[in-house]
Amino acid sequence: MKKRGIKIIISAILFVLALVITFSNEWINNGLFIISYLVVGFEILKKAVRNIFRGKVFDENFLMAVATIGAFAIGEFPEAVAVMLFYQVGELFQSYAVDKSRKSIASLMDIRPDYANIEKDGKIEKVDPDEVKIGDIIIVKTGEKIPLDGVVVEGRSSLDTMALTGESVPRVVKTEDEVLSGCINKDGLLKIRVTKEFGESTVSRILDLVENASSKKSKSENFISKFAKYYTPAVCYGALALAVLPPLVRMFAMGLDPSFGDWIYRALTFLVISCPCALVISIPLGYFSGIGVASKAGVLFKGGSYLDTIARVNTVVFDKTGTLTEGLFEVREVHVAPGVNSGELLGWVASAERTSTHPVARAVVQYAEREGVALLASEGAVEIAGHGIRAEFDGKQLLVGN
């Protein structure tokens, strides 16, 4: 896209020079027009020739090549360059839109794990998830993504499943629980026995849906594809007829000057105006951009046809925390037993919980900070997975949890 932008700028500068400066020798101006044209249009000409040899004659490259070369043939140098230049500007904007959509879709692919930990000879080695086989034991540390589907054989932890389910509340797993690839291990060490190869894992299936979303075309896209097969040749033959038939009628039937140049010019104008490129390209591009924008918001569409379906929806029912709400815990009130100071209790609890990554713990600490409660320095805090925190203050043991 950057390369195309540079070519457009260079071509535009040469084009303006040829228009503004009148040289004594006309061929200098014409030479500038030709150089300007080749800078911005050589790739189009090359694609047109290549596609002709491949049997794909009637496409936008062929139409642009015929229209612009025809303009040169009748001496309309400025118009030939202008048509190709404006076409390439349009292509640049299209590339920009596609690039943004691709980046949005790629951002959804951050769930792809980069490696898997396997214990070999008492050492933990990082390997590619594709190399892990069914039945192998993988180790997932705190903060790492689970690379493959499996069953927990040792350990207890809470998992962040938001990338897969949209649910922001952590899911607690223990021995014999099934876990899915793409989840993030929030706390504790897990040993997992792999039950599916990477290609069949949950994260791989999701990524496959994202990567092939644009291949599942809507009815509109399929219709346009069929329409273009007939419309494009019809436009080309219509332009040819417009260039040849009226002059012949004028010459033989009416005895007038055939004015071939004028009619060729009109035929080229008809060819450019009737070019189906915008219609054939804009509709698939619109669907692709829609899928990209949705991906940017974290919504996955499996294809353009599903965008059509959602457009007809008039009622939506939400049933997940995190869909209509932020899904984050927040302390609203502190209730204490008679004779207990609420500020002092909050200080103890927050001081113990500030080392934890649990969402409830974070909510308590944030509340204490907002309330201006001073946090104490613990002499040692230990997180007991699935139960809570054990900490010591001034030689006294404090248990915070369930």
Give the active site residues.
319
Measured from the Cβ of residue 336, the count of other Cβ atoms closer than 10 Å reads 12
Place of tokens 């080229």: 268
Q: Both tokens of residue 262? A: 């004028």
Measured from the Cβ of residue 147, the count of other Cβ atoms closer than 10 Å reads 26
Cα gap 364→350, rounded to integer Å: 6
Single out the residue of 231, 261, 233 nearest to residue 246, CA to CA: 261
Q: Both tokens of residue 302? A: 């499996």
CA distance readout (Å), 295 to 162, 268, 327:
14, 41, 20
Measured from the Cβ of residue 319, the count of other Cβ atoms closer than 10 Å reads 6
Place of tokens 């869909």: 323
- What interhelical angle do 277-296 and 77-107 show, nearest 10? 30
